[in-house]
Amino acid sequence: WLNDRLYEWLGEKNAADTLTLSAPGNITSEMGLALLDVADQIRPHPEVVAFLRGVEDDGFLDELPKLPGGAAARDAIEAYLDRYGMRCVGEIDITRPRWSERPSTLVPVILDNVRLFEPGAARRRFEQGQQQAREKAQEVLTRLRALPDGEQKADETERMIDRVRTFVGYREYPKYGIVSRYFVYKQALLDEAERLVRAGVLTEREDVFYLTFQEFHEVVRSHQLDDDLIRQRRDAFRSYQALTPPRVMTSDGEVLTGAYRRDDVPAGALIGVPVSAGTVEGRARVILDMAQADLEAGDILVTAHTDPSWTPLFVGIAGLVTEVGGLMTHGAVIAREYGLPAVVSVLDATRLIRDGQRIRVHGSDGYVEILP
């Protein structure tokens, strides 16, 4: 509504993107900024930074207190995990290792934050976004008041801006609550599976993930398990991992394909859906695994898709391109809150854009140029 009205009255396109910068109460965008605060606790301690560069397993938290400043670093990481440790890539899948179970996943992102940012970056970024939003709101209201019936239009818009900024972050809470509960369920399942391992029923506790809940119930009751069933399902799962899911599938199982039809973009441009306003040029970093991220200031993240676990990377990039997504998917919402130009649903972006190429992202018009 807000964008439509402002476009109708002022010709202002994507104004709401600026008006939602640093909106309070978004648990996911706060998660990205909070990891900057963790970096602030680690940055002053060179021995801790050097140690983290060599981390290869998940026992590193126990080793940190042996280093100067290591106890404070461990406390900062553990406090972060206490609030956000139930998240991970593909978190809707209960079998995926959570950050609390595999904290080493966060180490590359923490080290990037140590290297790329100055102390206090989280607070400054949030305050800068708030200031930009306030200035845009004042500009919009001033321009509206100069129109016929301007006071009424300005009052209506001011109420809507307040409503948007108050409630836009609520979108992230259902997923946060679901994933929080999933982690509790997972811990309960694995505790029961551990008892089955000790009883010699299961070889590994993760084998329980190859059973339906009813089958699991029967195994707990009878202590009987068909090992061939586990083996067959493990093999089937590996074969499924090699498949590429269709972009669109109806509830009837029909796979839909299509193509963009636009004549208002440069020749050779990659077309997608505009979801966060602005234009940015920079080095493309094609990243398919968050744990392998190695970013520099001004890089543009190019990936297949994102979920909330990718948010800590968003604080260090200048723009976003994904192969999947829409106006209200995770990457689009957080890109707008962080003020990052973004284009999503760009077919084969990770194949057509090479890592290290310079690209220009047109977040308002929905296309990406690959530069010479």
What amino acid positions are annotated as catalytic residues? Answer: 330
In Å, how far are 157, 177, 178, 186, 263 from 174, measured between CA atoms?
A: 28, 5, 6, 18, 39
Beta-carbon neighbour count of residue 114 at 10 Å? 21
Whether residue 268 contacts residue 370, with contact meaning beta carbons closer than 8 Å, is answered with yes
14: Cβ–Cβ under 8 A, 6 or more apart, which residues?
Answer: 3, 274, 276, 277, 364
Report CA 120 to chain centroid distance, whole Å: 22
**CA–CA gap between residue 41 and residue 70 (Å, rounded):** 9
Residues 197-202: contacts with CB within 8 Å, 24+ apart? 199/223, 201/225
What are the residues whose beta carbons fall under 8 Å from the beta carbon of 282, sequence distance 6 or more?
A: 298, 299, 300, 318, 319, 358, 359
Query: How many Å apart are CA 283 and CA 129, to the nearest integer?
Result: 24
DSSP annotation string for 21-62: TT-TT-HHHHHHHHHHHHHHHHTT-HHHHHHHHT--STTHHH
Q: Evaluate the CA torsion angle 34, 294, 282, 44 in order and state its sign.
A: positive
**DSSP of 186-248:** HHHHHHHHHHHHHTTS-SSGGGGGGS-HHHHHHHHHH----HHHHHHHHHHHHHHHT----SE
* Integer CA distances (angstroms), 112 to 191, 249, 308, 344, in order: 35, 38, 18, 24
Residue 97, amino acid:
P
